[in-house]
Amino acid sequence: MEMFISKKLKQSSICSSSWVQATFLIVAFFLYSCGSDSEPDPVENKTLISATEIASYPVQLLQFGANQQGFSAISGQLQYDITIYKIEYLTTYLGTEITASGLIGVPNTEEEVPTLSFQHGTIAAHADAPTESDEGTFYASFASLGYISLIPDFIGFGSSSDFLHPYYHAESTAECIIDMVRAAEEFIAEKNLNSNGKLFLAGYSEGGYATMVTHKRIEEKYENEFNLVASAPASGGYDLVGMKDYFIELESYSQPFYLAYLALSYTDVYEWPTLLSDLFNEPYASTISELFDGSKSGSQINASLTTDIKQLLTEDFRTNSNDSKYDLLNQTLETNSPISWQPKHPIFMYHCSADITVPYQNSQNTYNHLIDAGADESKVTFTTIDGATHNTGVAPFVIDFLSVFSDLK
């Protein structure tokens, strides 16, 4: 694929969700097939539980949808009909084996193809999980470019929706994705698919964070198990202490549910009953847990909070967040921040210069931390999506990382 953007990307008003909506209105009339089940052999498979075919799409339909919505840069590379499956698989969460889920997109080709796991951004409603939404199906359609594409739901969604999503918890996030890759390898063997064994990772926003922590964990624990080629994390809040300092200096913040999500997640993961009351004023401290019941979207949760930081966060936390009283919090944030290590495989970082939701400076600081930690500058690159916001940066990011990966397949 032609390299469309190198170090500076032009702002794009295209949002991937617009393509999704238009394409799937058409798909409703042209859907090929759905509904056949495939039960794996429980003796042979250690991770994969089940794989269910949910839909197939012809390449002409995918190309039409891409061209209609201005994705001609991608549409020209779409070349295969695809079949999408929902899988369930085993993973471990806080020491307990649970069932997780996600999507697998398979290209109709005899050529050997690599695997691409794409991690989605922040969601709160169960209905927005990849296995429940059009957007998940959009990312699974990367298979038409010549990948076996994986879209994890994450813990807390899909088949694991009984759990609260462990938002920005590095270990459980990475292990859930790694176990989906393992399940996909069993699926590939079961279906006799042609895979070249290469693994790519990419993601945006929380998905960017998830991508980086997964890359890091594979290199630290599973280097000999996977043939990781490269990753492309975009617009993630990797430096969590830096994110905290950014938030408390603001007068207002348009996405307060991000802050509540993180605090509630750590309350649950670390069994930390005082954390919400330490950080949030009433009535928010007492009501946050009720808001994240899976029925509400992020915007709906925002409506029940406040964008005024002084009203939302306690004065003590805002003024003393770096004092010893908050040492445990800051240590926990540092533990979950993938900012000090030396990647062995290429990482192509991206961030939007006009992003104030997850600030551009956070990625810049993360890049600097990695270089200061001894990372090889040839292994870590940082591309600015110039002029784009957190929302408008998705499309140019997708176009560019697919171009970069196409040369490494």
> pLDDT tens digits, residue range 203-217?
999 999 999 999 999
- For 73, residues 6+ apart whose C-beta sits below 8 A from its C-beta are 1, 2, 4, 399
Q: Which of 159, 37, 143, 35 is nearest to 91 (CA)?
A: 159
- For 359, residues 6+ apart whose C-beta sits below 8 A from its C-beta are 243, 246
> pLDDT tens digits, residue range 356-372?
999 999 999 999 999 99
Gyration radius from the chain CA atoms: 21
| Contact status, residue 388 vs residue 9, Cβ threshold 8 Å | yes
> pLDDT tens digits, residue range 296-334?
999 999 999 999 999 999 999 999 999 999 999 999 999
What is residue 64's predicted lDDT score, i.e. its pLDDT? Answer: 86
| Contact status, residue 345 vs residue 231, Cβ threshold 8 Å | yes
pLDDT at 34 over 60: no
Q: What is the number of alpha carbons within 13 Å of residue 246 lying toward its C-beta?
A: 21
What is residue 389's predicted lDDT score, i.e. its pLDDT? Answer: 97
What is residue 43's predicted lDDT score, i.e. its pLDDT? Answer: 53
Amino acid at 31: L
- For 364, residues 6+ apart whose C-beta sits below 8 A from its C-beta are 351, 382
The pLDDT of 149-160, averaged and rounded, is 98
Put the strands of the sheet holding 82-93 in their side by side order: 8-9, 380-385, 347-352, 227-234, 195-204, 113-119, 148-152, 96-107, 82-93, 48-57, 37-38
Reading the block at residue 26, the tokens are 């058409």
**How would residue 9 be classed by pLDDT, with cut points 50, 70 and 90?**
very low
Residue 221 main-chain phi, psi, to 5 deg: -125, -25
Cα separation of 139 and 142, whole Å?
6
Domains in the chain and their CATH numbers? 8-239+338-406 (3.40.50.1820), 240-335 (1.10.260.160)
